[in-house]
């Protein structure tokens, strides 16, 4: 039995894991999905001042409340920043860290550091113009979704707090790399804001050479939200990561 803790990316919430949680539990595992402060069913808490530390504490608090150890921590997209921080602070409680088409930061970078200048400028401008300091979700078509899946995600997405977009993260790459890691690369279609992470996941120099030690890459031929577009395939991969 494994303890899965699932952390969504920007604009999403625990709701996005519905199609994965049940199969994991039916397979005999514990599985819990976190909703970060200010989004999903916690969108009523959106306010200026929500930052990376707020969201890091959301994950650590969930681990404590669920009394989880030997955790398979699954972090999607933006939450790659958060999973990296948790592995830096509590490597001893993690069995495996899964970067699900996620941000792979370098020390001293923000989530926005690897984005195209026009993307970064548009999101920062939207945050600065909003009294709650947040920016809107994109059309789920960029995640490769269509039909009912597109509509389901579109009506559930919420604005995302702005401060986590530009706040830098400091961490020890060697300590993070002490945790076994898998990068799940979603390629059809690939999301442009993950392109730099795709380069890093195979770069022997990334994290001063520590990344490739204890890491692997697997590919999913689906879009950026595989928990929606291919939950069965994702569930199989996650169970494999727990072994």
Range of 195's domain? 3-241
* DSSP state letters, 102-146: ---PPTTB-GGGGS-HHHHHHHHHHHHHSTT-EEPPPPGGGGT--
Average pLDDT over all residues of the chain: 97
- Cα–Cα distance for residue pair 95/84, rounded to 1 Å: 14
For the annotated catalytic residues, the residue numbers are: 77
Other CB atoms within 10 A of residue 44 CB:
8
- Classify residue 107 as left (phi > 0), alpha (psi -120 to 50) or beta: beta
pLDDT band at 243 (very low <50, low <70, confident <90, very high): confident
pLDDT in tens, 18-71: 999 999 999 999 999 999 999 999 999 999 999 999 999 999 999 999 999 999
CATH assignment of the domain containing 156: 3.40.50.1820
- Cα–Cα distance for residue pair 71/149, rounded to 1 Å: 29
Give the total number of structural domains in the chain: 1
User: What pLDDT does residue 50 have?
Assistant: 98
pLDDT band at 230 (very low <50, low <70, confident <90, very high): very high
pLDDT in tens, 132-168: 999 999 999 999 999 999 999 999 999 999 999 999 9
- Cα–Cα distance for residue pair 126/188, rounded to 1 Å: 29
- Cα–Cα distance for residue pair 202/110, rounded to 1 Å: 21
- Of all residues in the chain, the percent with pLDDT exceeding 70 is 100
Strand bridging mode 94-100 / 71-76: parallel
Task: Report helix angle 52-65 to 80-89, nearest 10.
Answer: 60
Is 147 in contact with 59 (CB distance < 8 Å)?
Answer: no
Place of tokens 């031929």: 221
């Amino acid at each position: 039995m494994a303890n899965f803790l699932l952390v969504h990316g920007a604009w999403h919430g625990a709701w996005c894991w519905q199609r994965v949680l049940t199969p994991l539990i039916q397979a005999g595992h514990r599985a819990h999905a976190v909703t970060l402060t200010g989004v999903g069913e916690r969108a009523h808490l959106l306010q200026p001042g929500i930052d990376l530390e707020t969201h890091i504490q959301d994950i650590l608090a969930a681990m404590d409340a669920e009394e989880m150890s030997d955790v398979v921590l699954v972090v999607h997209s933006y939450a790659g920043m958060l999973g990296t921080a948790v592995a830096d602070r509590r490597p001893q409680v993690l069995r495996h860290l899964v970067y699900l088409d996620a941000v792979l930061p370098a020390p001293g970078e923000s989530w926005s550091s690897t984005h195209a200048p026009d993307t970064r400028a548009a999101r920062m401008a939207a945050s600065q113009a909003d009294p709650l300091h947040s920016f809107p979700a994109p059309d789920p078509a960029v995640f490769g979704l269509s039909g009912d899946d597109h509509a389901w995600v579109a009506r559930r997405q919420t604005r995302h707090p702005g401060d986590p977009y530009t706040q830098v993260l400091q961490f020890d790459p060697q300590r993070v790399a002490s945790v076994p890691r898998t990068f799940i690369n979603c390629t059809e279609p690939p999301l442009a804001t993950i392109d730099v992470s795709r380069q890093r996941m195979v770069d022997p120099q990334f994290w001063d050479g520590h990344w490739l030690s204890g890491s692997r890459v697997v590919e999913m031929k689906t879009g950026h939200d595989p928990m929606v577009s291919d939950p069965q395939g994702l569930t199989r991969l996650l169970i494999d990561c727990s072994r």
